[in-house]
Amino acid sequence: MNNLLIIIGIALGLRLIGSLTIQAVFSSIHKKHRGEQAAKLRYLQIKIPKSVTTKWDDGGDSIKDMKQNIQIMNQIYKNFYAIIEDKRKHKKFGHNYISMEMLIEKEMIRFIMGVPEEHVENMEKLISSFYIGAVVDPIDAPKLLEAGKYMAGGEFVFTKDNAYPIKTYESFEADPMDSILSAYSKVLNDEKMCLQILISPLDENALKALRKESKKIKEGKSKGFMGMIFKDIRKGILSGNLESKEKPKDEEKKNDLSQQQSGDLDKKTEDEIFSIKIRALVTSPEPNRPEKIIDDLARWFSQYSYIGLNAFKFKKSKNIQAFAKEFINRIFYTDYWTLTNLNKWRKTTIVSIKELSSIIHIPNAKFNRNPRISRQKYKIIPAPDNIPTEGIMLGYNTYAGIKKEIKIRTDNDDRMRHMYILGQTGSGKSTLMFTSILEDIRMGNGFCVIDPHGDLVEFAMQHFPKERLNDLIYFDLANTDYPIAFNPLDGPENDDERDVVTNDLVEMFVSMYGEEIFGPRIQDYFRNACFLLMEQPEGGTIIDIMRLFT
């Protein structure tokens, strides 16, 4: 009998060791897989102008309009399902995911999205098409940590099983995200806070499991949603003797849900569902400030509490260094324990598409009026439909995610129009003019270039073809070996023209010498002398003005 017990004990021990080994391998592969996915994330900053409109904006400012505005985010989240890859490792160890972040630094709130590299272009077009006038700029990964600063962080999780719903925007009379943003108002200039939500779409099998769990909850037979999903894993890896025989508390309870609550349980599984991780990290030079700021943020999440169903609770990180590493790398570990924590599953939070939109969405100036939100300071409009397809490249117009070339025709009508070029140093002003010069040279047109600096003219002359050298006239006022004969007093034929030339000369000398030297009396002498010389049949020059008074 003793030998039999020993054999059974050895068998169970070997089985346990095998189970732990397999699970450790699974965890290692999962960790590597998630690390590869995180490395492929590319970051976009979303800015909305104050006057932005959406596809369904009717110009109102009511509760209905607020809800319709949040519903737009539902459409964007639905398109997240495009990132699902039908590969075995993705099905087993986690689909691609997106990071939605609200970051405040230097007292400005920025909305940032981390997207898998191959889906960046599609996401830009998607956001621009739903939020007309939105500007989506690629940025580097935000730097959240700074040397010499204190940190606090943690994760928001459900108090009950994932099948239980929380309140959505349908139950609010004001945008619930506005309350979250109010916590950002207490962050000082030298502090940072980031609310990060990693979002991964779940497939049809997970949705069916959640529906099955909801049904059991209504019947008072719930065993927990994670238990449903990993039932097959436990059966295949762990023996029946190793499973806990303790019945979940939900199994002992009778169904005491109201009709409204029962209906909301069903609503959670009507549309797409997502696996998410909600994390927050605060940094500050003051030791007690991070805890205070993050506690204030956690209090605002209580607004999503649905009495009798579900709510959020905040779990502060005890190992802040390890937490910060996962946070800044956007690592999305899910549902696998590690050898250092054998008895604790790394559970994720599962939400419906409406619950997700209620927590975070792209802000609207009408309903999210926090002055710290970084907004676009200019409005983008689409290029005209009749712009030419050939000619000199002026630039690009990016509107609603569509990039369109803007060109100037080389025919006489477009080239004879006035143009004023504005831009920072190095933005391409001279390049645009140089391209126009080359186009005129190629077409045999005549043109005049006045360049006070000389760089543009010298560059253009280097590209002037030999066959047109006889057409080239080069004026170099700085070359004293070949001075240019220039007489502004020669040419005016009537009093009006003489008056214009004289006034221009007076202004030129005033700008050169100032009113102190070239004062009103000298101006009168100069003006009368110019008129006198221009009226003489033989004419005169500016040098002759001195001869009149000597």
CB 368 within 8 A of CB 177: yes
- C-alpha R_g of the chain: 36
The two counts, helices (H) then strands (E), for the chain are: 19, 13
Rounded Cα gap, residues 227 and 238, in angstroms: 13
Contact 488, 507 (CB under 8 A): no
Q: Cα(351)–Cα(269) distance, rounded to whole angstroms?
A: 9
| Cβ 51 vs Cβ 379: under 8 Å | yes
Degrees (nearest 5) of the Cα angle 230, 232, 233?
Answer: 65
| Terminal C-alpha separation, the chain | 139
Q: Which residues of 283-296 are buried (b: 16+ CB within 10 A; e: fewer)?
A: bbeeeebbeebbeb
Q: What is the DSSP letter of 373?
A: B
Is residue 12 within 8 Å of residue 6, measured between CB atoms?
A: no
The full 3-state SS of 206-251, as one line of letters, equals: HHHHHHHHHHHHHHCCCCCHHHHHCHHHHHHHCCHHHCCCCCCHHH
Coil/strand/helix, residue 306: coil
**365 DSSP 8-state letter:** T
Give the whole-angstrom CA distance, residue 327 versus residue 319.
Answer: 12
| Beta-carbon contacts of residue 141 (< 8 Å; ≥ 6 apart) | 41, 43, 114, 328
The partner residues of 403 in beta bridges, in order of sequence, read: 398
Phi then psi for 436, rounded to 5 degrees? -65, -40
Per-residue pLDDT of the chain (550 residues; tens, 9 = 90+): 667 777 777 777 777 776 666 666 666 655 666 667 777 899 999 998 876 555 545 555 588 888 998 999 999 999 887 766 555 545 555 678 899 999 999 999 999 999 998 888 889 888 988 888 788 889 998 888 887 789 999 999 999 989 999 999 999 999 999 999 999 998 999 999 999 999 988 878 888 888 888 888 877 766 554 444 445 444 444 444 434 444 444 444 445 677 788 888 888 888 889 999 999 999 999 999 999 999 999 999 999 999 889 999 999 999 999 899 889 988 886 554 444 444 344 467 999 999 999 999 999 888 888 888 988 777 777 888 888 877 777 788 877 667 888 887 766 677 777 888 888 888 888 888 888 888 888 888 888 888 887 788 888 888 888 888 888 888 888 888 888 888 888 878 888 898 999 999 999 999 999 988 899 999 999 999 999 999 888 888 888 988 888 7
